[in-house]
Amino acid sequence: MAMGSLCITMALSKGIEYLLKPASCFFLISGLMVLVSLEIFRQSVRWLITSDESIPLEYEYSWSVACAVAAGAVLIFGGGCFILLSIPSLPKKPWEYCMKSRSNSNTS
C-alpha cells in the first residue's frame, strides 16, 4: 500500500502518468494479501477451537474482521479503477516519455 501510495503521489504531483499501472498492481496485491491473511486467520481460529474438544467454545468474529474484509475489497476495487485510468494515459513505449522530457530539458 505504501508503494502504491508513493506511485499515486508521484503521478499526481509530477504528472508521471505511467506510474498509475504499477500503483494499481500494488493496490491489487495488497488487497489480495489482506484477504488471504484473513482466511488464514479464520482457518487458524477454527483449528484452535476444534483441537481441544473437552471445552465447548462458541465464537464469533468481531467488527474488526468485517473492517479488514472491507479494506481488502476497497483495495482491490481501487486497484481496478487505477488500471482503468492508466490504460488511455500510457504511451505505447514508456521510454518515449523519458526521452521527450530529457529533450525538453536540454532545449531550455
46-55, pLDDT tens digit by residue? 888 777 766 6
The answer to the question of residue 8 being in a domain is: yes
How far is CA 104 from its chain centroid?
34
The answer to the question of residue 53 being in a domain is: no
pLDDT at residue 17 tops 70:
yes
The answer to the question of residue 52 being in a domain is: no
**40 vs 95: CA distance, rounded Å:** 41
Provide the domain limits for residue 31. Answer: 2-46+62-102
**Three cell numbers written together for 61:** 468474529
* Residue that wins the pLDDT comparison between 32 and 91: 32
In the 8-state DSSP scheme, what is residue 66?
H
How many domains is the chain built from?
Answer: 1
**3 vs 46: CA distance, rounded Å:** 34
pTM of the predicted protein model = 0.68
The answer to the question of residue 56 being in a domain is: no
The answer to the question of residue 108 being in a domain is: no
